[in-house]
């Protein structure tokens, strides 16, 4: 379900013609981040609106895994080292767009000082692996 004023809902729904979709699946789209933290910075944005990782539970583990593998395959297909990439999610209140999105930043080793702070694995930024551990501990709301 799309939110009327959500820019990521518009992008993932193909209603934002200025954003080039690099890849599209049934569940998410991949496009360039407008404020890159390194030479390559892409977002995997779900087509279904979730505000953040906090909206998910253990039943969403496979979705997160598909987003991660989709981003890794996308990067590898562009000749970008997956070994020097950072993939993960910010948690509220440290998100600028309140729509679930996974960052893929490469090369991680070339991130600037401020970007290293913003995307440092911590309580406010979960790597893809940490996100799956987090989800495994959240009971299903169904």
The residues that are catalytic are 101
Phi, psi (degrees; rounded to nearest 5) at 21: -80, 120
Distance CA 33, CA 106 (A): 12
- Please report which helix (H) or strand (E) contains residue 43, including its range: strand 40-46
Euclidean distance between the first and the last CA atom of the chain, given in angstroms as a whole number: 18
Q: Pull the structure tokens for residue 112.
A: 């600037």
Coil, helix or strand at residue 12: helix
Distance CA 2, CA 46 (A): 10
Q: Pull the structure tokens for residue 61.
A: 């583990």
């Amino acid at each position: 379900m799309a939110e009327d004023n959500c820019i990521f809902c518009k992008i993932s729904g193909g209603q934002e013609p200025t954003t080039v979709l690099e890849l599209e699946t049934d569940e998410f789209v991949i496009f360039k981040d407008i404020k890159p933290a390194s030479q390559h910075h892409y977002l995997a944005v779900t087509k279904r609106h979730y505000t953040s990782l906090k909206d998910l539970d253990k039943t969403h583990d496979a979705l997160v895994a598909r987003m991660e593998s989709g981003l890794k395959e996308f990067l590898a297909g562009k000749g970008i080292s997956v070994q020097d990439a950072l993939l993960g999610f910010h948690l509220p209140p440290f998100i600028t767009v309140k729509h679930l999105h996974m960052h893929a930043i490469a090369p991680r080793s070339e991130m600037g000082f401020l970007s290293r702070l913003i995307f440092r694995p911590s309580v406010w930024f979960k790597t893809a692996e940490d996100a799956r551990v987090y989800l495994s501990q959240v009971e299903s709301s169904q």
